[in-house]
Amino acid sequence: MAILSRMAKLGIPLTVVAATAGALFYDDIRGRFSVKAEQPTVSPFAPLPPTFSSPSDTDIFPRKKWHSNWDSRDPLSLVDQEEYNAADPASRKEMLQKVKATATRNIFLIRHGQYFMETEEKNLTPLGREQAILLGKRLAQSGQKFDVLIMSSMQRASETADLILNELAPLPTRVDSILEEGAPYPPEPPITDWRPKQKKFFAEGSRIEAAFRKYIHRASPKQKQDTYELFVCHGNVIRYFVCRALQFPVEGWLRMSLGNCSITWLVIRPNGNVSLRTLGDIGHLP
């Protein structure tokens, strides 16, 4: 206390002294003031210590790296390996440049309109036809020139495509049965009212995967301009394509819902990066 008394005589408040050494309090038992040592106060402006050095160093943020050569169209995958290995550095660079994609593909995946589920043909209902016409009008009013329309061979898809084409400027069209509806992959979690047999997933899933590899990939090196491509097909096919293109777990495809005549827009960049611009857009429907 002698120190505190001398400080008081010098005009230094006891609270200042307490702040340097700890907290000043009155000890009822000893009948005197005491100083209780405390942990130093951290300035609110001081940076907080990091809880981890980086996400990759912990399992707090588990993640799977993006596979940049997911479509096997990376330039190094397209050159002749023996010729490439034997070439000098300048020749190697030239070889890779020749097979490098430079254009972007815009892929519009369109689900067909509402259809009669109880009929064998499963053709469009009057509402389904109206949906397809409204979709065609929206595409026409967008002002975008489309390069091609590829449709599933199933009737509900071909009817939808024909009604869309009536609203657009003429463009090349193709029909491909590989885009038909099917069971792409056993969903997780499973649902009770739709349980195809394993052989159905095995057969139809292989076909839908083949369709993905055929149509969903970066542009050819020969393609110099960006393209805008329409695909009129089915809900299961589109949802599987989205999972595969974004490298999401394919067993989660059934967690998404797509309305009739909805637009799902995938963008594939020359470097293989993929983005989803819209999923199941039905803004054109009342």
Say if CB 9 and CB 3 are below 8 A apart. Answer: no
User: Which residues make Cβ contacts (< 8 Å) with residue 99, sequence separation at least 6?
Assistant: 75, 78, 79, 221
Q: Please state, in angstroms and as integers, the Cα–Cα distance from residue 278 to each residue in 53, 98, 112, following that order.
A: 35, 32, 17
30 backbone dihedrals φ, ψ, rounded to 5°: -90, -10
Give the sheet arrangement for strand 227-233, strand by strand: 173-176, 148-152, 227-233, 105-111, 263-268, 274-281
DSSP three-state, residue 165: helix
Say if CB 218 and CB 73 are below 8 A apart. Answer: yes
Name the pairing type of β-strands 105-111 and 263-268. Answer: antiparallel
Q: Is 138 annotated as a binding residue?
A: no
Say if CB 152 and CB 158 are below 8 A apart. Answer: yes
Q: Enumerate the known binding-site residues.
A: 156
Q: Enumerate the known binding-site residues for substrate.
A: 156
